Structure 1
Amino acid sequence: MTNVRDVVVTGLGATTPLGGDVTSTWTAALAGESGARTLDNDWAETYGMPVNFAATIKVKPEEVLPRTEIKRMDPSTQYAIIAAREAWADAGAPEVDGDRLGTVVSSGIGGIWTTLDAWDTLREKGARRVLPMTVPMLMPNSPTAYVSLELGARAGAHALVSACASGSEAIAYGVEMIRSGRADVVVAGGTEATIHPMPISAFAASRTLSLRNDDPAGASRPYDLARDGFVIGEGAGVVVLESAEHAATRGARVYATIGGIGLSADGYHITSPEPTGDGQVRAMQSALDDAGVTASDVVHINAHATSTVVGDLIEARSVSQVLGSSADGVALSATKSMTGHLLGGAGALETIFTVLALHERTAPPTINVTDPDPELGLDLVRDAPRPLRSGPVAAINNSFGFGGHNVALVVTSE
């Protein structure tokens, strides 16, 4: 029997380096494809950039959206609208009073393309040539605002910003909106469009990007001894959340339940994770407690696992601490090995992967791990998907961000 406060997932939408929708993205992930590729431009030559590849969007917005929308939206908003429309249609376009419908669509960085283009215009052509839509386009709340305008969502339109945890925190906040009674349906997720020479150069300067220019597809190598940094990606993931009661009343198809949410902060460093992983442990344990499940119920984890030398092992030790003896046989997937790191969109896309893993009882693979780090100590799903057991189960999706933000979501399925 469902509880009125239970929050279920009834719609999924995405546009990613692997595909222009959820189906193509998930199919490519199960096949172990990489979305990383050499950039088709002269940025590296022109600016002396040390990195000339990224996980670029597979289907360009111009192929999906009309020119009128392209002109008034930053790419980050374009991606969000594409994903939200798919998720809404996938949910069956539920009839819901706008006062009971909310949106929470986040971005870690916001409209960086619009910001930098406007600055170039100002310097080169003067103030009169700066577009009047510049501010609405660059606002970090622009994606959630446009989604709320499209759907007539009036229960709230929010944009939480927590770096690479933004997408997951948006979903967590959407869950809380429904649990608290503010909304019956919430469209939630994350988006990012930062494949631009400035952000790439800045990340490279911080020594967090992989430098494997000769092998983009093999560059993201979570838990491999030869890992040397993440691959920057772009895209969006959006889910439709509903109270279980609302979904049951309309006979909606339910993918899974967002059973628990856990949030914490390291209070340690602006970019480096706290070495003991205490904040990550607290987030995961809080999410399990919130869901009312134990470590023995967990069959799958979609790890944050960006492919950085230090971060991967801190998370692995945190997972081991939370799961204890139940860690044996829990299928660990690091899907950034295929999608690259979507920053503010990562947690939302990986929530979709986690939901589908339970819905289809199939854990996606991790690619590019040819020499696993002996310190991993967990059961990594490598190269091919792995079946998950039937019956009531739980999975964890981890997302961690610069600034010490930790978000864990527990997905459950009967």
Structure 2
Amino acid sequence: MSDSHSDTSNRSSRPGSPPTSPRRPTSSVVITGMGVVSPLGNSPEALVAALRAGDSGIRPLTLVPTEAYCVSHGAEAIDFTGHIDNYGDLEKDLKKTIRKAGKVMCREIEMGVAVAQLALQNARFDAESFDRDRTGVVFGCDYIMSAPEEYTDGIAACIEDGRFRFDKWGQTGLPKVAPLWLLKYLPNMPASHIAIYNDLRGPNNSITLRESSAGAAIAEAVSTILRGHADALVVGSTGSRIHLLRTLHASMQETLAADREDPATMSRPFDATRDGSVIGEGAAAIICESREHAQARGAEIFGEVIGYGTSCVGPQGGPRPIRVAIANAIRAAIRCANAAGHGDTPIGHIHANGLGHVEIDRDEARGIQDVFGDVTQQPPVTTAKGHFGNLGAGGGMVEVVGSLKSLGGELFAIRNLNDLDSECEINAVRDNQTPAGESFISVNATPQGQSSAVWIRRP
């Protein structure tokens, strides 16, 4: 799908104009804008300040009733209400359009659109500097579940004598479901909304790889720009595991951390006492541009993507597929950087997946060892999940923003890491005095064995 509009690279954007000469592929891809919605604030600055301060975004849940779940705490993006003010400083017409479209956007899509608008504003997007035919969107998203109340009236209409009549659903129940309900929950809708609201006519793609979505979206975006098919792309991911049905699924299918008297101590990546992940929600977006395009418009460059890799390893790959997938993705990112001539860039730190799951953390630690060797040879390893748990597809991009904003300064410690598990031999960051360095590799993985890694450095 990412190449669906690539033919516009050989044409003027004005109908009837003669074809222009093909554009040469760019030399590198840089990051010129950032936007974030997270349990630790709705700006990159607030996020990094909270990470360095050791703050936690894990609190009593308010968005779902907790009586039916095994946990009653999670990391909600409490500062995001869906109000139009959450989308930043918008022009009047765009503000009106987004406010009106709210009826066909669920919370995850709202967060995705909001961070995209914030990133565009941060990048100083304008119609004069960007060719809309060569500016597009690549967005990661979880699968999105409908809210049960969407069907309440329809189900009620099909109940007779206390029993649901399936034979009445087509004629009686379905007409009571809102005609546009499905548009609120399709995982390709964040990319669609963002493109439509901002008239971005270039490549448009949606990535649905759960926690690995952010890294895969960055990989796809960089590849698309390097091929010469776009000048700039809005790249992001959004996700929530706080939802009536999604939270129920997580409670039944995954190992969640048990409630503690202090919920801020529930998420414990790589700690010997960890007992599972914590549910959360969030989103983030970055603006990726070819270096030539960014320099031509005088943009501030925050970082450069120098390598990327993805991997999926199933049971046939061995007894520890996540270990293999993470090692594969990191090695692929390093090979990518080597091929582009960036292989001598020092790795300042690794932003690990750090889920807090007993086996997955162990497998990740061993995957890192497989690539870099023992603790004395590894770059410093940190993760933000101790602060806010698992944000689903949105987590990887929030973590990228956290690491990117830390480059050149001090790195944040792994929260709640009091006793490093002897089976997790990593060069763990324990304090805020560790330099973040000039580059980082961000890693994420799904419980199903999908992994992505991206290598980003300061310009």
TM-score (norm. length: structure 2): 0.82
Query: Any idea what the Cα deviations from partners look like across 1:326-365, whole Å, max 9, x if unmatched?
Result: 854622111011122111111111111222222x433222
1:262 maps to what in 2? 309
Q: 1:302 to 1:83 in 2, by over 3 A?
A: same
Q: What corresponds to 2:458 in structure 1?
A: 413
Unmatched 5+ residue regions in structure 1? none
Per the alignment, residue 388 of structure 1 pairs with: 436
Q: Which whole-Å CA distance do the structure 2 matches of 1:333 and 1:69 have between them?
A: 39
Q: Does the 8 A contact of 1:35 with 1:55 survive in 2?
A: yes
Local SS of the residue matching 1:44: coil
Deviations 1:77-96 (A, max 9, x none): 10011111111011111521
Which residue is 1:362 aligned to? 410
Report the CA distance between 1:134 and its aligned residue.
Answer: 0.9
Residues 319 and 167 (structure 1 numbering): CA distance in 2 closer, same or farther, change over 3 Å? same
1:38 to 57, 60, 66: 60
* Aligned residue type for 1:43: P
Among 351, 367, 387, the alignment partner of 2:400 is 351
Contact 1:106 1:189 in 2 (8 A): yes
Alignment of 1:241-390 (within 5 A): 241-268=288-315, 274-275=320-321, 277-292=323-338, 293-294=342-343, 297-324=346-373, 328=377, 330-358=379-407, 360-384=408-432, 386-389=434-437
Give the deviation of 1:172 after TM superposition. Answer: 1.2
Q: 2:217 aligns with which of 170, 191, 194?
A: 170
> Is contact 1:17–1:55 with CA below 8 Å preserved after alignment?
yes
Q: Distance in 2 between matches of 1:75 and 1:41?
A: 11
* Bigger mean CA offset, 349-358 vs 227-236: 349-358
Corresponding residue for residue 51 of structure 1: 71
Aligned positions, number: 403
Deviations for 1:8-62, whole angstroms, at most 9, x for unmatched residues?
11000010111122221221111111101011377222x3x11111100121333
Tell me how far apart the structure 2 counterparts of residues 269 and 163 of structure 1 sit (CA, whole Å).
21
* Alignment match of 1:187 (pick from 226, 234, 250): 234
**CA separation of 1:41/1:19 partners in 2, compared to 1, >3 Å: closer, same or farther?**
closer
Q: Tell me if structure 1 keeps the 8 A contact 2:322–2:447.
A: no
1:199 aligns with: 246
Shift of 1:264: 1.1
Write the distance in 1 (CA, Å) between the matches of 2:153 and 2:412: 44
Bigger-Rg structure (1/2): 2
Q: Which SS does the other structure have where 1:310 is aligned?
A: helix
Residue segments in structure 2 that go unaligned for 5+ positions in a row: 1-24, 87-97, 158-172
Q: Which amino acid aligns with 1:330?
A: P
* Kept after mapping to 2: 8 A contact 1:163/1:402: no
Partner SS state of residue 300, structure 2: coil
What aligned pairs does 1:117-128 form with structure 2 within 5 A after superposition? Answer: 117-124=149-156, 126-128=173-175
Does 2:48 match 1:26?
Answer: yes
Determine helix, strand or coil for the equivalent of 1:58. coil
**What is the CA–CA distance in structure 1 between the aligned matches of 2:116 and 2:64, rounded to whole Å?**
33
Decide whether the 8 Å contact of 1:5 with 1:178 is kept in 2: no
Q: Distance in 2 between matches of 1:39 and 1:74?
A: 18
Partner of residue 4, structure 2: none
Identity of aligned residues (%): 28
- In structure 2, relative to structure 1, the CA distance for the partners of 1:61 and 1:288 (3 Å cut) is same
Evaluate the alpha carbon distance shift between residue 325 and residue 401 of structure 1 in structure 2; reply closer, same or farther with a 3 A threshold.
closer
Distance 1:329 1:164, change over 3 A: closer
Deviation at 1:275, TM superposition (A): 4.7
Note if 1:157 corresponds to 2:157: no
SS of 2:314's equivalent in the other structure is coil
Deviation of 1:371 after TM superposition, in Å, equals: 1.6
In the TM superposition, residue 108 of structure 1 has moved relative to its aligned partner by 1.6
Give, in angstroms, the shift of residue 301 of structure 1: 0.5
Q: Superposition pairs for residues 97-176 of structure 1, below 5 Å?
A: 97-110=131-144, 112=145, 114-124=146-156, 126-176=173-223
Kindly state the Cα deviation for residue 100 of structure 1 after the two structures are TM-superposed. Answer: 0.5
In angstroms, what is the RMSD of aligned CA positions?
Answer: 2.3
Instruction: Give, in whole Å, the separation in 2 of the partners of 1:12 and 1:409.
Output: 16
Q: Which residue of 2 aligns with 1:13?
A: 35
How far does residue 212 in structure 1 lie from its aligned partner after superposition? 2.0
Instruction: Name 2:81's counterpart in structure 1.
Output: 61
Task: Give SS of 2:381's match.
Answer: strand
Change (3 A) 1:275 1:413: same
**Separation in 1, partners of 2:319, 2:351:** 18
Render the CA deviation track for 1:127-181: whole Å, top value 9, x for unaligned.
3332222121111101111111122111122111112111221111111110111
CA–CA separation in structure 1 for the residues paired with 2:322 and 2:389 = 26
Which amino acid letter does the alignment assign opposite residue 334 of structure 2?
Answer: L
CA distance in 1, matches of 2:364, 2:304: 24
How far apart are 1:226 and its partner, in Å?
Answer: 0.7
Q: Distance in 1 between matches of 2:222 and 2:376?
A: 27
- CA change 1:316–1:325 in 2 (3 A) is closer
The code of the aligned residue for 2:379 comes to: V
Change (3 A) 1:412 1:273: farther
Would you say the 8 A contact 1:220–1:336 is kept in 2? Answer: yes
TM-score by length of 1: 0.91
Aligned to 2:108: 76
Deviations along 1:178-205, one digit per CA (max 9) or x if unpaired, are 0111101010110013312322222122
Distance 2:64 2:334 in 1: 47
